[in-house]
Amino acid sequence: MVSPLVAERRRLARLFDDDLPPTRAARVFQGALALLIIVNVAGIILESVDSFDRRFGVELWWIEQIATAFFAVEYVLRVWASTNFQNPRYRHPVWGRLRYMRSFFALVDLISVLPAILGMLGAGDLRTLRLLRLLRMLKLTRHATIFNLLWAVFREEARSIGAVLFILLLTLTISASLMYMIEGEAQPDGFSSIPAAMWWAVETLTTVGYGDLVPTTVVGKIMGGVVSIVGVAAVALFTSLITVSFLDQLRLRRAALRTAVETSLADGALSAGERAALEDLSERLGLPDTEPQETLETTQREPRVCPHCGAALSGARPA
């Protein structure tokens, strides 16, 4: 017989485990948590306004205490329930919990409460600790499927992105060194060293061009024009690389959803459980809410074909 403590830990694991399809209780909890984070972060921002802080200082203090207590309890419960998560790395009662505490989102949960605890203990600069509380916004990325899609893009294109960044770094170093040689004598205050010239290179490569540091010699202006063109080309290359990879990931995920829809329709009918599973899959893949229904309707309209010869079969696909 399962003890009440173990049963409660399993229930919490079902609520907290990000690898499982979210239940109704998990959705409610996630919504309440997101609302609390938004209110808390808004309070942190508004308390930097002296007039607002003087008028609503007590209310902001209570919001901070409630949020800190909630985040602290949530962190402790997540660590306690981690041994019942789907990931087998967390199964050990000691080492599993330690592995979970080193995971990305567990560190985010810890960071969300650490500044407040350090502030209560009188450690660190108060203003710095207040700003660190803004890192609580990272907790919102836990259930944002769009970030999973972006991480997949970065993983797939890591080599290409690294190559583009290396080219930018190389161009930054060379252009700053050349500009230091060209403009160093004409503008000893602005281009006093290669690191100082790197500021000009950064704002030129990124096409920002604040105008606080500009070349005055003819050769320097020509060099500035070349660096600007290289910066535009590098930004365009990086943008197109991310865009193409993003579209490829969407295509692959839509293909995975389509395969799941065709598998569900193989027996000629789509049950309520299969429809719910397709909706959960679509959500985990980061696709729009209407994607399962649209894919289902498209699949049902297509004629059936023989898997051996490819010949069209008579009759429409069953709804």
What pLDDT was estimated at residue 177? 92
Contact (Cβ atoms closer than 8 angstroms) between residue 300 and residue 317: yes
Indicate if 124 and 171 belong to the same structural domain. Answer: no
Q: Which of the pair, 295 or 191, is modelled with greater confidence?
A: 191
Average pLDDT, the chain: 81
139 shares its domain with 151: no
Answer yes or no: do 135 and 161 share one domain: no
Instruction: Give the separation between CA 120 and CA 65, rounded to whole angstroms.
Output: 11
- Is there a single domain that holds both residue 182 and residue 113? no
User: Residue 280 maps to which CATH number?
Assistant: 1.10.287.70
Number of Cβ atoms within 10 Å of the Cβ of 160: 15
The residue among 111, 143, 175 that closes a domain is 143
**Rounded-to-integer distance, Cα 318 and Cα 89, Å:** 43
- In this prediction, residue 317 has a pLDDT band, given cuts at 50, 70 and 90, of very low
**Using one digit for the tens of pLDDT, what is the confidence trace for 160-206?**
888 888 888 898 899 999 999 998 888 888 888 888 889 888 888 88
Longest CA span, the chain? 85
Asked whether 286 and 149 are in contact (CB, 8 A), the reply is yes
Question: Rounded to an integer, what distance in angstroms lies between the CA atom of residue 32 and that of residue 35?
Answer: 5
- Residue 203's nearest CA partner among 187, 192, 215 is 215
Q: Supply the range of the domain harboring residue 171.
A: 144-319
Looking at the structure, tell me whether residues 238 and 163 fall in a common domain. Answer: yes
Task: Say whether both 232 and 200 belong to one domain.
Answer: yes
Percent of the chain with pLDDT over 70: 86
Q: Which residues have C-beta within 8 Å of that of residue 9, sequence separation ≥ 6?
A: 80, 81, 83, 84
Across 55-64, 239-248, 280-289, least confident range? 280-289
- What pLDDT, on a 0 to 100 scale, did the predictor assign at position 76? 92
- Local structure of 248: helix, strand or coil: helix
Q: Please, where are the H alpha helices in the chain?
A: 4-16, 24-46, 50-81, 95-101, 104-120, 126-132, 145-156, 158-183, 194-205, 218-264, 272-284, 291-301
At residue 99 the predicted structure's pLDDT band, cuts being 50, 70 and 90, is very high
Number of domains in the chain: 2
The span from the CA of 230 to the CA of 171, in Å, is 8
Q: What is the CATH number of the domain that holds 114?
A: 1.20.120.350
Residue 153 has pLDDT above 80, yes or no: yes
278 pLDDT more than 50: yes
**137 plus 159 within the same structural domain:** no
Tell whether 30 and 158 lie within a shared domain: no
163 shares a domain with 152: yes
pTM assigned to the model: 0.66
The predicted structure's pLDDT at residue 288: 67
Best CA proximity match to 203, nearest among 172, 238, 170: 172
End position of a domain, from candidates 143, 167, 193:
143
Domain final residue, candidates 93, 110, 143? 143
At residue 91, the pLDDT reads 87
> Residue 80: pLDDT band by 50, 70, 90 thresholds?
very high
What pLDDT was estimated at residue 299? 74
What does the pLDDT average to over 235-240? 86
Do 175 and 96 belong together in one domain?
no
pLDDT at 264 exceeding the cut of 80? no
- Alpha-carbon span 217 to 231, nearest angstrom: 21
Kindly report, residue by residue over 122-145, the tens digit of the pLDDT: 655 556 666 777 777 878 777 666
d(CA 280, CA 289): 10
Residue 289, pLDDT above cutoff 80: no
Residues 318 and 182 in one domain: yes
With a cut of 80, say whether residue 296 has pLDDT above it.
Answer: no
Residues 153 and 294 in one domain: yes
Please determine, for residue 148, whether its predicted confidence score (pLDDT) is greater than 80.
no
In whole angstroms, give the CA distance from residue 261 to residue 296.
6
